[in-house]
Structure 1
Amino acid sequence: MIHICKELKKIINEVEKENQVLSINLIIYEILKMYKEYFGLKKQDIETIYKGNEVDVDAKLYNKHFFSELEENYPSGINSIFDILVNCVSKESDLKYDLLNIGVSYRKIIDIRDQLDEEIRFIEKYTTNISLYGINNDINIVERTKELELLEIFLSMKTKNNVLITGKPGVGKTTLVEAFAQKINKGMVRPKLCGKQILSVDIARLLGNTKYRGEFEEKLTKLLDICVRNEHILFIDEAHIVIGAGASEGGISASNILKPYLLNSKLRFICATTEDECKLIKNDKALNRRFNSINLEEFSKKQMFMVAKKLSEPYEKYHKVIFKTDDMDHIINVLGTEKFSMKTFPDKFIELVDFIGAYYSNFGTIDRIQIEKGLELYENSRILLVR
């Protein structure tokens, strides 16, 4: 987790929206709401915790000051949240006795913190947190506003809130999900999706070291149960591999394990696969009807002309080269010919710009002659690799 739990920042945002003042009582109240299933608490139990009254002060300024103190005193991860609870039950106060009355004792807090630490390690072993990846990386996605909006709407639905993204290889299916994770990080999504984390599941890793019947099912079920409690969004790339995965030796396939979880409103799925391999999912009608579909079309040459500069900028910066607009248009025209029809836009454009940029690294402005030489090398790259 980054410096301090996202959950606390989410609390800050919610409090400021309502023009309330943040207090330790409110923090405790919100923490217990987040982890009520772990503590075995009911809503009425948590309501007994004093939430604090609005005070006649500048709420925004007060909250900022409170949060800076909180960061200074509790600078890291999930333990930060539970340190707040431990402090509250370790000193004499009305809040301490309110917590003890609903069963939130020192021992209980420590046990649940240890359980969460173990769950975090388990999740990190079998998934990749796309939400964290998006924090330090500028996800370069253009001309997909409609698809991002559809993805957000589908995930916000009460039922059938799972999405299947289809399209040819290289159209940007995974990049779309990474861009959506970035939108969540920036708080630019509907309230129901604020603070959500997108975890990419590694089915191959789950299948590894599963010699005996039931081991794969146990690991996958444990992962899904943890994600239900934490209300994560699970991303499965190359989703067709779940059909039949783990079904050898008479075990239950991953697709059959997933079906009941696809109906759980606390857990959302984003799956991505190519148009051809999508048939495997569509043939399983019970699995297919649990998804809303988004099809990503390949960019046309006209679209590529419009977005070429923006797509090339990260590669120009990385390789310290500059492509002229006319030369980029020339690259698109060449890539649009039958010779390169086996690949798709925008992936083949990005690949070629990266290739030429690497070849002329630190060169500065590249002219048309150098572009042509780079294109020739790119076309013969398989021969060069063999040599």
Structure 2
Amino acid sequence: MMNFEKYTNSSKKIINAAQNLALGKKHQKITPMHIFSELLNSNHDLIVKAFEGSDFNQIKNLVQNNLSKELPNGGNGQIFADPKLIQLFENAEKLASEQQDNYVSIDSLLISSIQSDNNIESIIKKVGLNLNKIKSKISEIRKSSKSDNESSDDNFNALEKYTINVTQKAQNRELDPVIGRDEEIRRTIQVLSRRTKNNPILIGDPGVGKTALIEGLAQRIVNKDVPRSLENKVIRILDLGLLLAGAKYRGEFEERLQNVLKEIHKENGNYFIY
């Protein structure tokens, strides 16, 4: 028996949207294809990344073609759940349990929709994907994160979502050269290299070049112009604007920040956060 309360908010939205889609199209039943369609339409970060590198629009078109073959309900407004849909929910809840998730997240719905309908599996194969590839991408995003509350899947991959990888920008040569900050960068490196009390504080009015100093440090890390203890470290800038954006209820900002800190902790000191 499906326990709707054990689904994340994102998963609940998908299920409700799938029901409305079937009703709107006057279909006889709700199927895994309706769920899959609304997963794609959600543009959720996790779903977009799961299909990264494939033709997203082609997948959507193939899904719409498939949905057009569904039987109408005869105009009586009655609609029922396809047995495959029941199987989808059972698979999703089983998967959540195996992952030690307290809530069924949106990625569990995605995997289970593919497992429950051969037509969905055929669609993803047409764009060069398969279930294992999608599972692998989801695993990269989730890492060891658990779905332990109703908004968990909105905070998977929190580091990527709420911080800017300055080291990556330096590797891609997207940063301007930093001139005249050698002494400040050298002092920052000195503090970071300490075993204790190794958190440098950059003080200055807005616009004096604090971020430029961080960019200069990132460039030195990329160029191996740092002590061995700092080689291969990654600098990320915490974007408070992104952390605050769309935070609708009390505590959501704190929850996002906690997820960022959890992911930093898992990196065993490889990340510097500014």
Higher gyration radius (CA): 1
The TM-score, its normalising length taken from structure 2, stands at 0.41
The TM-score, its normalising length taken from structure 1, stands at 0.31
Q: Which has the higher contact order (CA 8 A, sep 6+)?
A: 2
